[in-house]
Every structure is written in C-alpha cells, then in structure tokens.
Structure 1
C-alpha cells in the first residue's frame, strides 16, 4: 500500500508538473534556430545575406501583443537583411480588434531589403482576408498572394515568390513564377509545408513554411500529436526534396490547445552563401 501510495503521488506530481510546463513555460520559451543555405545560383553579392522568418503567432489565443513584442525584439537584435512572415497572424480574425496596436508593433520590424508575408488559413478564416491584408500592408509588409518580386543587391538579384494558402485560399505557383527571369535563385513562401510536393516540380530552390507548429505536442517515440491538413508530411525542420530545400518553422503561438511539449516556439534565421 505504501508503494502504491508513493507511485500514485509521483504520477500526480509528474502530471501536474507536465501540465504547468506545457502550458506556462514551453509556449513562451522561444528558440532561435540558424541555418546556412548554400547554392550555386546564390550570387556573390548575396554572401552572408540574412533572412529572418517568423510564423503562426495566432494572436488572441494565449499569444498576446506582449509576447509578440518580445519576438520583435529578438528579430531586430539580429539586424536581418529581410524579414518574412509565413502566415496565421490572428487565431480568429473576426474576434480580434487590436488592429492599431498590432500595426504599431509590426512597424518596429525593419529590414533594408524589405518585409514580406503570405496568407495562412487563419488569415482567411472568419472573413479575415481584408483585415489581415490591411494590418500587414499598414505594417509595411508586402503581401505576396500568387505574386513574386525580384530582390536586388549590388548588380545581382534573387527572386522571392509567395502563394496563397492551400486550405482556404487558391495557391497558384505558376502565376507566381510567371515573370521569373530565367535561371535565378528562387525562394518560395508557402504557409503550407506539404505544398513542397507541388513546388519541387517548379524552378524553386528554397521553400519557407509554417502551419504545422511542429505538431505542437510531441510524445517521445511517438512523434507529433496534432498535425493539420497540408502540414502532416513535413512537420518541422529542414528537408531536401529533389533539388528543393524545405524549411518548416514551428511558429510562435498555439491554436486549438494552449499547450506545447517538445515543440518550442521558433524564430529562424537563414544566411545565404554562394556554393
């Protein structure tokens, strides 16, 4: 009986500790990840070009502007050349009303070669399409919705494309790449990581995504517990796919459940290098 009592007490304590950690500690314990991306098409002018990526803030659902302010500070400490947001700014756009405060905060992000964003599924949900576009454009982000832009540095340039969300939008990579000027290093922003299976059939060299939250909760020897549609095949981290490099960022906020376990929120920095 004494042994059973000790076992029960330990189990209860472990459960309470795990609950507290996964709800109050890990969701706000942001990890900074860094990767060097090398490719023969990256021009010498873009050597050490730094790109900051953040994603999936889901503002309004346990992730508040105070948390985003800390993320903005972490990004700006690195002095990136370019900043990318890969979608899902608000968890429920129809219930989110801190528009002015969000714009003021996102305007603090600054990069000499621009700020870019794409739509996530939550950005379209709840009639949020125009609200999201307004916030991002007022925050001086360029929203890439099946469009692309050349990014020039010195006498060289790379090509940056963005597609609409897969779940509630209409992604069209062919349209996004229509003005791609021949053989040039091309980066694609797609909220949905599994869209890489489409992108690898196009002249795209790096795809940047979010959406999956890294599963948000991971069980040792089991893997991710929650994986959304279009984020089930490629869940987190770096993948090499037939000439395409895919990176899946775990995002900053949470959705559905206010927990993270073994899937810390993440800000990623890529440094480009000629091969």
Structure 2
C-alpha cells in the first residue's frame, strides 16, 4: 500500500530542493560556450530520475528496507517541505518596510490606452501575451523617498530613475517598448541608471537609440550589461548604449561632480562580467553601484557601497499567493526577489524589470522606479556601527 502522506511530504520537499538547484544553477553563471539547452536537459533528467526512484521506493518497499542514502534524502525532503518551506514563507510574509523609506506604487495597464494587438510582436512565443491573466502589459511606477545616513548634504534631493531588463525581443512590438519608455519619461530625474539585459535579439540593436536617447539627466546617464547581453551580443549592446548617450560603467568605476560633492558610480554584471577593481574606486562622498544581479550585495557591503540598484530576477515573473516567486535565477535562490534589502552600510533595491525573454508575468507586473534621496540623521560617535547582518524588507 502506498503511504500517501509520506509520498506527498517527500514530493513537496523534493520539489523545493529541485527549485533551489535550478535557481542556483541559473545564478552562478554557466561557463561560456555551454549550451543552455544542454544544461536544462541534464538538470531535468536528473531531477526526473530521482523523482521516479523515490516514488517507486515508497510504493514498493517498507521504510526499514530502504537504502541508507535514500532514507537520508527522504528525511531531508520531509524537513524541507514540512519545516523549511513554512518557515521561509512566514518570514517573507512578516517583512517590514525599512525606516526612512516612503513612497508608493502606481499601476498602469497599457491596454487601457493601446489595443492589445498593437503591443504584441510577430515572434512565435508572442502567443503567451494573448493568454488571459498574463500581466506583461501592466507596469508599476514605483516612486520612493529614501533617507540614507551616508548621503552628503549637497546631494539632498538627488533623483535617480532606474530602468532594467528591457529585453528587446520580437515577442513584443515596437509600440510596447515605446509605451514603456513613455511611462518612464513621466519621472523627472537627475541621473538615469540602466542595469542590464538590453537585448535578446541582436537584430533589434538599432531600436536602442530611438528609445533610450530620449532620457535627459542633468548629472548623466549610466548603464551596464546583463547576462542576456553577453549571450546575445555584448559588444553590440555596449556600442548601442554609448550611442544612446549612456556612459557604460561595466566592470569599472566612474565619478561625477554633483552639487559640490563627488559621487562614485560603479557597475558590474558579475558573475557574467567583471567586478570593478576596488583599488580603482575614486574617492567620493557617496558610492553608487549598478549591479545586474542582486547576488553581489555581500561584496558591495564589504567595500562600503552606499546604494545599489539591481534587476535580473524580474521579481520571479510568476508569483504564487502567499508563497511568492518560484523560479528566480540567483545563487541565493528566492532570497533577493524584489524590493529593498540592507546589508551593513549598503541599501539595495531590486526591480522587477520591464520585459522578459519569456513574455509572461503573473502577479508580478513590469516596473519602473524613481528614488529621491534624503539625508538621514547620522549616528553619534558612540553609536553602534552598521551590523553586517542583513535586513530584508518588502517593496511596498
């Protein structure tokens, strides 16, 4: 007789471990030249083999006669499914907004002003955009005021517009990308930041200039690449961003004079691209990092970055009620999904991005963000320094 409760507990835990493995695999950066499909096929084959093997054991043999390794894995699955999953879900639900962060989100449905068919491109996978419930044509305009204790007084009121994960692909029409940029243009900003994944189709590089050259920031426009840019055409993406008026700070530091104080701006798409050399960082009153992946937060904290903006995760793209995201390409799995996170002196924000290679979103619309920085009261000389421990907070 099949022990259905045991099989269910093992199956749930095995699913959680499989998700963890897939997320980490897609977050660590597969060696260049390794076909993505090969990695996916091998991963799915391994997971399916383990799943079938465990099911056969539960169905055909009593627990006492299981091989030691099989029993050990089964116990691990039960603990993960019955203890780990509820604990992490509860922790996610109990997240709180950080002190000094105010603002909110305005939702916009592009189909209210533009017919859906005009937003859909000619690619084969554009059929996803016709499925009811797909929120790919919704965008959340996030407008935040952030108090930061490390902000020099001359930078009080500095406004940063954050764009990420444009993913130029034929699944969406040109009108879709134009509409998204029009929404972003509604935010006035001093500095424009783009954090990678510009393209999924190199043939669309000529669209970058007309889209991104429309932005004006009195302190400049800065950009980095993402893993999809490296996969598609890194050199082409680099040139397109420069032609659109952006300074590409991929793997390096730059600095600007902003209202009488120096602002250091660094960029990285690690692990797919290089980290900026710490020794090359210009002396500055405030350090701002563009990082495609949020996984560089521990590194950023160690070198004293004040503010870090990231994308890459898309917020998970499909989020289940209560549970949150399932698949999220990060070596930390679902930890850095979206919103504000703090580690030591570094405050990070992870955006859900604009588009995606696979054009489907559920409970996770696109996002365009603006941050207005405010000076926060500084700690007294006798106050405790920033803890290296991490605090995690919701988007809002």
Measure, in 2, the Cα distance between the counterparts of 1:137 and 1:245. Answer: 28
- Counting only pairs closer than 5 Å after superposition, residues 39-78 of structure 1 correspond to structure 2 as 39-78=148-187
- The answer (yes or no) to whether the contact 2:139–2:366 under 8 Å persists in 1 is yes
SS in 2 for 1:137: helix
Measure, in 1, the Cα distance between the counterparts of 2:293 and 2:250. Answer: 13
CA displacement, residues 161-201 of structure 1 (integer Å, 9 cap, x when unaligned)? 112x22432x324x15623316x211111001111122111
Q: Which runs of 4+ in 1 moved over 6 A?
A: none
User: Paired residue for 1:120?
Assistant: 226
**Does residue 132 in structure 1 map to residue 233 in structure 2?**
no
SS in 2 for 1:98: helix
CA displacement, residues 221-267 of structure 1 (integer Å, 9 cap, x when unaligned)? 22212211347331100011122111000001022x32101111000
User: Paired residue for 1:81?
Assistant: 190
Measure, in 2, the Cα distance between the counterparts of 1:231 and 1:252. Answer: 22
- Counting only pairs closer than 5 Å after superposition, residues 163-242 of structure 1 correspond to structure 2 as 163=268, 165-169=269-273, 171-173=274-276, 175=277, 178-181=280-283, 184-230=285-331, 232=333, 233-242=335-344
Query: Paired residue for 2:350, among 248, 252, 270?
Result: 248
- The answer (yes or no) to whether the contact 1:148–1:159 under 8 Å persists in 2 is yes
Q: Could you tell me the TM-score, scaled by structure 1's length?
A: 0.84
User: Paired residue for 2:132?
Assistant: 20
SS in 1 for 2:303: coil
- The answer (yes or no) to whether the contact 1:206–1:245 under 8 Å persists in 2 is yes
Number of residue pairs aligned between Structure 1 and Structure 2: 246
Measure, in 2, the Cα distance between the counterparts of 1:197 and 1:221. Answer: 27
- How far 1:19 moved relative to its partner? 4.1
Measure, in 1, the Cα distance between the counterparts of 2:332 and 2:197. Answer: 14
- Counting only pairs closer than 5 Å after superposition, residues 142-153 of structure 1 correspond to structure 2 as 142-153=247-258
Measure, in 2, the Cα distance between the counterparts of 1:140 and 1:218. Answer: 35
Measure, in 2, the Cα distance between the counterparts of 1:36 and 1:211. Answer: 23
- How far 1:108 moved relative to its partner? 1.0
- How far 1:44 moved relative to its partner? 2.1
Query: Paired residue for 2:363, among 239, 242, 262?
Result: 262
Q: Which has the larger radius of gyration?
A: 2
Q: Which protein has the bigger helix share? A: 2
- The answer (yes or no) to whether the contact 1:193–1:230 under 8 Å persists in 2 is no
- How far 1:51 moved relative to its partner? 0.4
Q: 1:153 to 1:84 in 2, by over 3 A?
A: same
Measure, in 1, the Cα distance between the counterparts of 2:342 and 2:270. Answer: 21
Measure, in 2, the Cα distance between the counterparts of 1:243 and 1:35. Answer: 19
- Counting only pairs closer than 5 Å after superposition, residues 104-119 of structure 1 correspond to structure 2 as 104-119=210-225
Q: 1:110 to 1:98 in 2, by over 3 A?
A: same
Cα RMSD of the aligned pairs, angstroms, is: 1.9
- The answer (yes or no) to whether the contact 1:162–1:176 under 8 Å persists in 2 is no
Measure, in 2, the Cα distance between the counterparts of 1:189 and 1:176. Answer: 14
- The answer (yes or no) to whether the contact 2:160–2:190 under 8 Å persists in 1 is yes
- The answer (yes or no) to whether the contact 2:213–2:244 under 8 Å persists in 1 is yes
The more displaced of 33-42 and 264-273 is 33-42
Measure, in 1, the Cα distance between the counterparts of 2:375 and 2:133. Answer: 42
- The answer (yes or no) to whether the contact 1:161–1:176 under 8 Å persists in 2 is no
Structure 1 segments unaligned to the other structure (5+ residues): 1-17
Structure 2 segments unaligned to the other structure (5+ residues): 1-129, 377-396
